Amino acid sequence: MKFLFVIDPVKNINPEKDSSVALMEAASRRSIDVWICTPQDLEARGDEVWASAKEINSNPWLSILKNECLPLAEFNCIWMRKDPPVNEGYLYATHLLEVAERKGVKVINKPSSLRAWNEKLGALRFSHLMAPTLVASKINDLMNFATINEDVVVKPLGGKGGQGVIRVTNNSPCIRAMIELITCQEQLPVMMQKFIPEVSFGDKRIIIVNGQPLGAINRIPKEGDFRSNLALGGKPEKSNLSEKEKIICKELSVQLKNEGLFFVGIDVINGMLSEINVTSPTGLREIEKFSNQSISDEIINKLIAII
């Protein structure tokens, strides 16, 4: 069996923290040949997509066994694990991967769903599970929402890892100027949500695989910040699912499975859904550390069962 991981350049990857590397190691333990490439390594030759790829030994990271240009149809599964932003290059890569999908290759996650499920907007399908939320580009509409809710966070729709997320109150100095800036003078919509003060107790990342929650960590914001993202200094801690979180996972399960979203990370704050991460969900290393379980092995086993 042969897997291809489409990832960022390896120089940008910290194997001790990286979920993609955890999955590669788990695949290797099942005697699966592991190959890597970047989106820029994909090319179409007629109706066949090829990749200039490297076969690797992921443990220890990184031992390259061979370089070869291969048709994607040779792989049993392709993992699209390129980090956001979901820009033109990312979208074109999903179109190329879709060609391989049509030839019977399993692509995780489904390319069309990667395009359709913006990680902020995708959660709106379950808006009744969320804090009060507005997506808009008009400054007056956003100002009115901030006035009604008094304390809000503003998120760029194309952001990642908490980057660019700001918190403002209805009487913050220069709130209008900040909204003008983040909307590019009403040219780009943004997400505004009522601030949840309980975020100081943590923002929970839950990993859902083929519709089933497999593990979670709680992420505590560092002192002086409300953002809990690990990339911004959030502190991970051991966590289990509450009954309310189990209900959220159950409600999402069928739609995620139906849309080919095999590997998903959702964020929940005080029992309210915040985001649905489908591009390259993280947190595996931390979950495995606190649970003393190899969640990555379980993920690969579940994948093999459906290929």
Residues with a known catalytic role: 120, 155, 205, 219, 227, 267, 275, 277
CA distance 86 to 82: 9
Which residues lie closer than 8 Å to 49 by C-beta, 6 or more apart? 42, 43, 71, 72, 96, 97, 99, 100
ω into 85 cis (within 30 of 0): yes
Residue type, 14: N
The number of angstroms, rounded, from the C-alpha of 169 to the middle of its chain's C-alpha atoms is 28
Q: CB count, 10 Å around CB of 213?
A: 19
The number of angstroms, rounded, from the C-alpha of 231 to the middle of its chain's C-alpha atoms is 13
Do residues 100 and 78 lie in contact, with contact meaning Cβ atoms separated by under 8 Å?
yes
Q: CB count, 10 Å around CB of 83?
A: 16
